[in-house]
Structure 1
Amino acid sequence: MPYQIFSIIAPVLLLALAGWAYARWRSIDLAALNRLNIELLSPLLVFTAMTQRPVHWGAYGPLLLAVLVVTIGSGLLAWLVARLLRLNVPAFVVPQMFTNTGNMGLPLWLFAFGAQEFAAAVVIFVTLSLLHFTVGIRLFNRGAPLASMLNTPMVWALLAGIAVQQLAIPMPIWVFKPMEMLGSMAIPLMLFSLGVRMAQFRVTRWGAGLLAGLLCPVSGLLLAWLCVQLWEFSHAQAGILLLYGALPPAVINYLFAEQYRQDPELVAAIVVAGTLLSLLFVPLALALGLR
């Protein structure tokens, strides 16, 4: 079991470490590559994952409901703590609701549970991405228009994947293969970018950051474990849910906080502390999910 957990986490850590080391050695601006990943590579990853094998959304209803319980429950607990400590509520709450399902979640789910269960991971990633780019942004900025936020490549990739599935549209191999190759670049680039971001952050709010970084996986894992006890999930889905509960805050929360001027220094501390603490909580979640 320890070696199995190490073999799952090691590729994720090594790719992120490569990004961190490169950014420490040489200044790098990943803005264009991150835009490419968000607008092209990640949507292609979602599209090809959905069209490669049937994704029965109804079969993932209970799993998605449990994911929402973990997300909303973690947000409510964070809201209470933020109000009690008089911290910036959006800056403290949103990173704990929307965790790193892209840079860390997708590769960990893939390495831990295999390609046969990757459809469940994609369903979670797409659902939370849609919520993050709508509800999450709206929490940072209450004046943000929802209509424009829904007009994103990820939404179109999701709709296209559903259409191809439901209508049984054949995908010629010479069309599908280049799309699959481009989509497969998304996960390594996500992890490399995560390492670069870790090297670029300047953290000044360690106290609040460590509190939030600890609260995020503790509340997430506890809520996920309760859902596993109350509902009947397959072994793989239970493991996917437990791993979701242990994921750290997403890096993109820092970009949103900076864009909408919601205490980016606090969010940077939360992201860095949460990512470091994930080295303890992700192995714990894998140990619980793989046993």
Structure 2
Amino acid sequence: MDLITRIADIIIPVFLIVAIGYGYARRRPPDLSSFNRISLDVLAPLLVYSALASRDFAIGEHVPLLIGGTALILGSGLLAWPLAKAFGAQPRTLVPVVMFNNCGNMGLPLALLAFGPANFGAAVALFSVSNLLHFSLGARVTSAAARTRDLLLSPLMVATMLGFFSAFTELRPPPVLLSGLKLLGDAALPLMLFALGVRLTGLTRQGLALGLLGALARPLIGLAIGIPLAWAMGLEGAARGQLLLFAALPPAVIQFMLADRYHQEPEKVAASIMVGNALAVVFVPLALALGL
């Protein structure tokens, strides 16, 4: 019951912020172009860097989970591609939704609750590998217009590389500066959710159907890969539970920002994220029951 309450405590604020964005856009539709550019180029990079540069994160302890997380993300993408073709969906819309999950604002607090502070670094490791793949391979899957050179030099990729550098070398900014960077980075999540609500004003019935497909495919495909993968890798205890929780999380909120930047059906991506977050009440407890 405590876990269900915790999931609800995470999901309800998500829906509240999205609803505020939706209500505002119904009365006064905003221009999201500058809004989203700031989120992707300033706020999200600071969010990623501050998580990786945290003094509580020792990346060398989590190599098996980094490998498992990478295999799960890539395997989900391979299975999502024929699924998109079978249902007449655009692969560039559906595949990234299935590949990348909400391991930041939902995965991190849930992992802390379920596995305790001693195992929190594992959740940060999965978060880091997801971000690295999301803003390189994931952006290319979302749009053919995403050029490799631009991606490698993007603020998000630079922040991720600097974060890994800090994690490996333990060279970090002074705590007072890191706290300021984290404070600004934390603003990314509510702003992304607000923008998601704005985009939902353009949702059609057809878009909602695709949203349901993405919302269900993300945890179902994730668990279908994650369960045998954890067994094959010999993961046990908290490591096995962390991988299964990662497998069952709903679609990543930040994928909406990429879809919006590249004009890849952002309304349908927004629907997948909304429905997927609601279904987390079912799939997250299932994953934890399998992993604990």
TM-score exceeds 0.5? yes
- 1:138 Cα deviation from its structure 2 partner: 1.4
Alignment of 1:104-119 (within 5 A): 104-119=106-121
The 5 A counterparts of 1:223-262 are: 223-262=225-264
Q: Decide whether aligned partners of structure 1 residues 54 and 196 sit closer, same or farther in structure 2, where only a CA change above 3 A counts.
A: same
1:181-211 deviations in whole A, cap 9, x for unaligned? 4445555x26854873586462422434323
Matched, 1:120 2:114: no
Q: 1:219 is matched with which residue?
A: 221
Deviations 1:22-48 (A, max 9, x none): 335544859566555544444334434
Secondary structure of the corresponding residue to residue 68 of structure 1:
helix
Match of 2:16 in 1: 18
Judge conservation of contact 1:214–1:274 (CA < 8 Å) in 2. Answer: yes
Please state how far the C-alpha of 1:19 moved relative to its aligned partner. 0.8
Partner residue, 2:154: 152
- Asked if structure 2 preserves the Cα contact closer than 8 Å seen for 1:204 and 1:265, the reply is no
Residues 49 and 103 of structure 1, relative CA distance in 2, 3 Å threshold: closer
AA at the equivalent of 1:100: N
Written as runs of structure 1 = structure 2, the 5 A alignment for 1:90-239 is: 90-169=92-171, 171-186=173-188, 189=190, 193=194, 196=197, 200=201, 202-205=203-206, 206-239=208-241
Residue of structure 2 in register with 1:8 after alignment? 6
Paired residue secondary structure (1:101): coil
Q: Cα 1:151–1:288, aligned 2, differ >3 Å: closer, same or farther?
A: same
Q: Which moved more, 1:163-172 or 1:202-211?
A: 163-172
Percent identity between matched residues is 34
- Displacement, 1:149? 0.9
How large is the Cα RMSD of the aligned pairs? 3.2
Task: Tell me by how many angstroms 1:227 deviates.
Answer: 1.7
Contact 1:23 1:196 in 2 (8 A): yes
TM-score, normalised via structure 2 length: 0.80
* 8 Å CA contact 2:103, 2:127 repeated in 1: yes
Residue aligned with 1:102, SS:
coil
Shift, 1:14, TM fit: 2.8
Residue-pair matches, total: 287
Q: Which runs of 5+ in 2 are unaligned?
A: none
Runs of 4+ in 1 over 6 A off after TM superposition: none
TM-score, scaled to structure 1: 0.80
Stretch moving more, 260-269 or 239-248:
260-269
Deviations 1:130-159 (A, max 9, x none): 222221221232242111112233333333
The residue identity in structure 2 corresponding to 1:211 is L
Q: For structure 1, which runs of at least 5 residues remain unmatched after alignment?
A: none
CA distance in 2, matches of 1:216, 1:82: 12
1:2-29: CA deviation from partner (whole Å, max 9, x where unpaired): 22x1243133123213313433554485
2:71 to 69, 72, 91: 69
1:81–1:22 distance in 2 versus 1, CA, 3 Å: closer
**CA–CA distance in structure 2, aligned partners of residues 172 and 256 of structure 1:** 32
User: Which amino acid in structure 2 is aligned with residue 243 of structure 1?
Assistant: L
Which amino acid in 1 is paired with 2:160?
L
Whole-Å separation in 1 of the counterparts to 2:228 and 2:42: 37
The question of whether the paired residues in 2 share the 8 Å contact of 1:16 and 1:195 is answered with no
